Amino acid sequence: MSMTPSPIKAIFFDAVGTLFDIKGSVGQVYVTYAKKYGIPDTVEMATSLNMAFKETMKTMPAPIFSVERPEKLKQCERLWWFDVVHAVFYRVGMFEGFDDFFDEVFDAFGQATHWELFPETLEVLTKLKERGFELGIISNFDSRFFQVVRALEINQYFDSVTISSLARAAKPASKIFSYALEQHMLHPDEVLHVGDHRTEDLEGAQEAGLHAVLIDRSGAALYDNQTLLSLMPLLELPLLRPSYS
Percent of the chain at pLDDT > 70 equals: 95
HSE at residue 240, side-chain half, CA atoms within 13 A, is 26
Q: Is 117 helix (H, G, I), strand (E, B) or coil?
A: strand
Residue 221: give the domain boundaries.
3-21+114-244
Cβ contact 7:186 at 8 Å? no
What does each C-alpha distance from 135 to 88, 129, 212, 239 come to in angstroms?
35, 7, 14, 15
Contact assessment for residue 20 and residue 145, using Cβ atoms and an 8 Å cutoff: no
- Residue 218 CA to residue 7 CA, distance in Å, equals 30
Determine the 3-state secondary structure of 49 from DSSP: helix
Closest CA to 138 of 116, 112, 115, 166: 166
DSSP category for residue 37: G
Q: Give the mean pLDDT of 33-42.
A: 96
Which residue, 67, 93, 108, sits at the end of a domain?
Answer: 108
Please tell me whether residues 55 and 121 are part of one structural domain: no
Overall domain count for the chain: 2
Same domain, 137 and 97: no
Assessment of whether the complete model's pTM goes beyond 0.85: yes
Mind listing the pLDDT tens digit for each residue in 57-87?
999 998 888 888 889 999 999 999 999 999 9
